[in-house]
Structure formats: structure tokens, C-alpha cells
Amino acid sequence: MKPVPEPTRRLPLSMTVNGRPIELMVDARKLLADVLREDLGLTGTHIGCEQGVCGACTVLVDGRPVRSCIMLGVQADGCDVTTVEGITPREGLNPMQQAFKDHHGLQCGFCTPGFLMTLAGVTPQEFPDEESIRELLSGNLCRCTGYEGIVVAVMAAWGRDR
Amino acid sequence: MGWRGDERGRKCGSRVRNPDDVSVKPPPFKYARPESLDEVLRILSEYNGEARVLAGGQSLIPLLNFRLARPQVLVDIALVRELRQLEVERGVLRVGAAVTQNTVERSSDVARLCPLLTKALPFVGHVQNRVRGTVVGSIAHADPAAEMPAVALALQATMVARSAAGVRKIPADQFFLGPFTTALKPDEMLVEVRFPTSRKTRAAVTEVAPRSGDFAVAGVAGKLVTTRAGKARDVALALFGVGGSPQRLHDVEARLAGQRITGDLLDQVAALASHNARADSEDVHADAGYRAHVSGVLVRRAVEEMTR
């Protein structure tokens, strides 16, 4: 992060997105989710509620899951950002994505990138049982599945019996 | 045909290409990210009341998105090293304004010396919020349903406020004035909160919320020490979500002090807590009467947990 000593409306933003260094000028008021979608064309990050409740816009900032609709783009200056595009292999799906597909972890798919990024930003050992997994997932809303398929997918991807 | 696919397609395409034609939610503001606290305080003083401090932004940015807040300037404190301290000094846990909730939640020192904070933090939003949100920011925001202000009140924390003019130390029981309203002046910021520590204290947080991570309909943050003779002392209980500010239950604490905790006593304190709760919050989830009633239930559960 570089210091910005005097208040300004527009400023340079430099960050790494999915391993690629990015430099651009942005309005200070532009949300990280909109920078990713509009300036970088990474539309896998979905915007649902725009108030930090639904979790659809979850991305990783320095490896930890955050809600990109309640973070300014300029707050990611100097950070390493990962979106759902960044965890998706060139061919096929990653193991968690495959588990979602195999176990009906999605229907309409709008919330799915957010769930995948939340899961990509935590260590499975911290969520040893189904109850703790459900609590982790409570920060992402899904209106289709009733969560059952998602929980089953996570348990399967993390090698847990159910 | 009411819908013309090609026209819509062109519109979407041009929106992505033209960087000036974009969806922006927050109102315009100027942004600064200074490296020193003095610079932060200078800007706060210069824009007297029209500048807001940006820490984690987990409350402030939703307010900007709704345009309920329209500050001229946001001062981001992410680069201010002196606001990043998390340390125990002479029995006091000092939490700086830039320390995230997730950092405090994971600290083994905090778990050992200030267990009420550690117990309360998992209730604060979701992990995605705690990665960015700060303990001090939550206290300064003073949401009536938030856990951190109640923890500060129960522990009798000291608020350290700074402005270009100097420093003020404000006890927690004089800090929360009402919903989203604190004793901070427009050009002041909360730079640090000091929590007293104790190795003997037991702590509990109990709350009722529609789902995990939602704002509490009602909650209790409590601490106490059990003596070798099995009696309670140093009891503190604070309600949140029930009224416009967190509230201490001094009468309930006095009823428990020096007593062995029995079923009869728990019945009495639950009734007293329901009676004394100043419940004036009402919303779609619960009316004031329910909040008062459930305050007693939650006090009972908290005391049971701490004396089990």
C-alpha cells in the first residue's frame, strides 16, 4: 500500500489479481466488486445485496475471504486479490467445484462463486464437523438449494463421512 | 416482441468498455491514506465533522452504499502503524483502532487474559466481516445490537480518544449515549480501547438472533469470578440489542455477588433481569416485551455457563 497524504477523488490502484499485476486509475468511491467486474471484466464475482449480507461477492484479499461489495477498490492497493476465475483450472473444475456439481450444491448458480471463495479462504481443519461447516456457510445466502447439497458437497470435498 | 436483444447487447458491451459510465453506489468523497496518526488527526480537524475514519468499513461502507452517510472525506487508517498495537501492558489489553476482529479472535493472549472478547467475537457478523472489521471500529460505531460495545461496558474498558487538540480517556459507561451515538466529538477518533485483564475471570456471551451472524434480537455479555468457596464475585452483565445502548444490569450483579449460584437464585436473577431491562427496541423480529423477557432467559444461561 502506498500512502495518499492529501484527500483526493481519483487515485492510482495497484494490486495483484489472480496472480496478474494490475495498475489502474479508479474513483475512490468505486467498490472492489465493481473494479473487478467493470474495469477488469472479471464477472465471475457476483453482486447480490450490495450491503455485505448475501456473500455473493466474496473474494480473497491476501488469502482471506472478504465481501468485495463493502470494500473500496482503493483499499485493495498493494494486496493480492483472488476471484473465482483465479481458482478455476484452465480445463475442468477444481475439487470443490466438482463436488458442488456432483452433489447438487447449486441450482441457479448465482451465489456459487461466493460460496467457493469463502471455502477457498479457510483451512478445513478449523471446521471439524458439520455444525461448524454450516456456521461457516451462514455468511453466504443461497435461495435455491436449501444448503443441504452445499453441505454435502463440502463434506465430500474435505473427505468427511456423513 | 417487447425485448430487443441486439440493442440490450450493445448497451451492456459499451458499459464495460467506457470506464466513465459505471455503476457507483457510494456518494462522491475524497479519500486519504496517511501513514501517521498526526496526519489522520489533522485531516479530521481540517474537515471538522465532515471527515470520517475508515478502518474495516464493514458498517461505514454499507452506509455509504445506501447513501445514509455522505462524508466529504474518508481517512483510511490502514497504513498507520501506531494504531496496529495489540498488547498486554501492566494488566491492560490495549487494542488499537486498526486491529481486525479476526486478529483479536485468534490471539491466544486475549483468550487467556480477556476471555469475554474471545467469546464474543464469533458472534460479530461472519468470518468475511471479521477479516476486515475492527474491534475499535465496532465500538465507535455503537450499533445498539452489536456485541463489542456491550463487552466494553461489561469489562469497564477505557476509551482513548484523540484529536489534534489532545487526548481524552472516557470510561465505557460514559461513552455510549444512544443508538450510533457516542461521546466522541466530531474531530476526535477512537484510537485505542483498553480492556482490563484477569486470569481468573470466566466469561459468557448468550444471544438470540434469527441466524448465526445476524444482528442480535437480544444478548448478554457477562463475566464473573468464582471464589474457592464457590461464591460469585466481580460480576458484570451487559445487555445488547434490547435498547438503544448497551446496558449494565447493576441490580442483578449485586444480587449475585457473594452468593453461591443455585437454581432458586438463577430464577430470581432471571426475573429481575427481565424486570430491569430497559427494552425499547422493536422491529419485525421482536417487540420490546419479548426482548425484556428473553433478557432474563439469556442472563440465566450466561450465569449458568460461567459457573458450570
Residue B249 in any domain: the answer is yes
Say whether B282 sits in a helix, a strand or coil.
coil
Between chains, do A28 and B30 touch, taking CB under 8 Å as contact? yes
Q: Express each pLDDT in A124-140 by its tens digit.
A: 999 999 999 999 999 99
Residue B20 pLDDT grade (very low, low, confident, very high; cuts 50, 70, 90): low
Q: Per DSSP, what are the bridge partners of residue B181?
A: B178
Low-confidence ranges of chain A (pLDDT < 70): none
Q: Where does a domain end: A29, A61, A86? A: A86
Residues B57 and B12: beta-carbon distance below 8 Å: no
How many structural domains does chain A have? 2
How many structural domains does chain B have? 3
Say whether B183 sits in a helix, a strand or coil.
coil
Q: Decide if A58 touches B, using CB distance below 8 A.
A: yes
Q: What is the mean pLDDT of residues B71-86?
A: 98
pLDDT given for residue B23 in this prediction: 66
Q: Decide if B38 touches A, using CB distance below 8 A.
A: no
Q: Per DSSP, what are the bridge partners of residue A122?
A: none
pLDDT given for residue B211 in this prediction: 86
Q: What is the mean pLDDT of residues B101-120?
A: 98
Residue B9 predicted with pLDDT over 90:
no
Q: How far is B224 from chain A (nearest CA, A)?
A: 28
Nearest CA in chain A to B210: A138
Q: What phi-psi label fits residue B216: left (phi over 0), alpha (psi between -120 and 50 degrees) or beta?
A: beta
Q: Decide if B24 touches A, using CB distance below 8 A.
A: yes
Asked if residue B140 and residue B234 are part of one domain, the reply reads no
Residue B5 in any domain: the answer is no
Asked if residue A134 and residue A76 are part of one domain, the reply reads no
Residue B207 in any domain: the answer is yes
Residue B13 pLDDT grade (very low, low, confident, very high; cuts 50, 70, 90): very low
CB pairs under 8 A between A and B: 130
CATH value at residue B127 = 3.30.465.10
CATH value at residue A73 = 3.10.20.30
Whether the model clears a pTM of 0.80, i.e. scores above it, the answer is yes
Between chains, do B19 and A1 touch, taking CB under 8 Å as contact? no
Q: Decide if B14 touches A, using CB distance below 8 A.
A: no
Nearest CA in chain B to A59: B128
Q: What is the mean pLDDT of residues B120-138?
A: 97
Residues in chain A: 162
Residue B281 in any domain: the answer is yes
Asked if residue A74 and residue A27 are part of one domain, the reply reads yes
Q: Decide if A50 touches B, using CB distance below 8 A.
A: yes
**Domain span at A60:** 10-86
From residue B197, how far is each of B168, B194, B202 by CA, in Å? 21, 9, 11
Q: Where does a domain end: A31, A54, A86? A: A86
Asked if residue A78 and residue A104 are part of one domain, the reply reads no
Q: Where does a domain end: A59, A86, A113? A: A86
Between chains, do A7 and B79 touch, taking CB under 8 Å as contact? no
Among residues 127-186 of chain B, which lie with CB inside 8 Å of chain A? 127-129, 131-132
Nearest CA in chain A to B22: A38
How far, in Å, CA of B256 to CA of B303, rounded? Answer: 9
Residue B290 in any domain: the answer is yes
